A = this chain, B = another copy of it.
Amino acid sequence: MQRKSFGGMSCPIARSLERVGEWWSILILRDAFLGVTQFDQFQKSLGIAPNMLTRRLNALVESGLLERRLYQAHPPRHEYALTERGRDFRPVLWALLAWGNKHFAPEGPSVIVVDRETGQPADPVLVDRVTGKEMTADTFRSAPGPAADEYQRTRHSPSQEVVR
């Protein structure tokens, strides 16, 4: 994704996609959250070609989502561990999972999220931490932030936001 520039570069979503836009990246992160740390574990789990895995792992390390650590000196062996930035990606993954379960699992969900204590299935929903309100298109909207430029401001003019 070394694209020079593209529509709405300054948008945080676009910037996020620069790091995880390639589709293997997200699946690698998914596996990392399941506890996978080693090269060949990723490879077996994903069925990805080794050279591609190298490329994607390096990209994730460069983006600061994974950390490459030497866990054995002779012979040199590395593990790939989630950084804080990587761990912060989990809500995105869970939101994606919930969406997929709702819309693309006619026979019922194959993977769910459960409460560690009770084992009860969770129903992931996005809320505003400040007010506790559920975030829907009716109650919230996007808006220019403090670092917005003129371009952003025009995009988020209230007149535009027809879809609620």
Name A's B-contacting residues (CB within 8 A): 1, 5-8, 10-19, 21-23, 26-27, 30-37, 45-48, 64, 81-82, 85, 87-105, 107-117, 119-131, 133, 135-149, 152, 155-156, 160-163
Nearest Cβ in chain B — how far from A141, in angstroms? 6
Taking a contact as CB atoms under 8 Å apart, the answer to whether B143 and A111 are in contact is yes
Of the candidates B1, B22, B117, the one whose C-beta lies within 8 Å of that of A139 is: B117
Q: Beyond A45-B7, A137-B87, is A112–B15 a contact (Cβ under 8 Å)?
A: no
Taking a contact as CB atoms under 8 Å apart, the answer to whether A116 and B100 are in contact is no
* Closest B residue to A1 using CB positions: B23
Nearest Cβ in chain B — how far from A158, in angstroms? 10
* Closest B residue to A162 using CB positions: B35
Taking a contact as CB atoms under 8 Å apart, the answer to whether B34 and A110 are in contact is no
Of the candidates B35, B103, B125, the one whose C-beta lies within 8 Å of that of A127 is: B125
Taking a contact as CB atoms under 8 Å apart, the answer to whether B109 and A135 are in contact is no
Taking a contact as CB atoms under 8 Å apart, the answer to whether B123 and A130 are in contact is yes
Taking a contact as CB atoms under 8 Å apart, the answer to whether A92 and B96 are in contact is yes
Q: Which of A48, A117, A138, A142 has the most chain B CB within a 10 Å cutoff?
A: A142
Taking a contact as CB atoms under 8 Å apart, the answer to whether A111 and B162 are in contact is no
Nearest Cβ in chain B — how far from A51, in angstroms? 16
The 6 closest A-B pairs by CB, nearest first: A12-B100, A7-B46, A109-B145, A16-B100, A35-B162, A108-B147
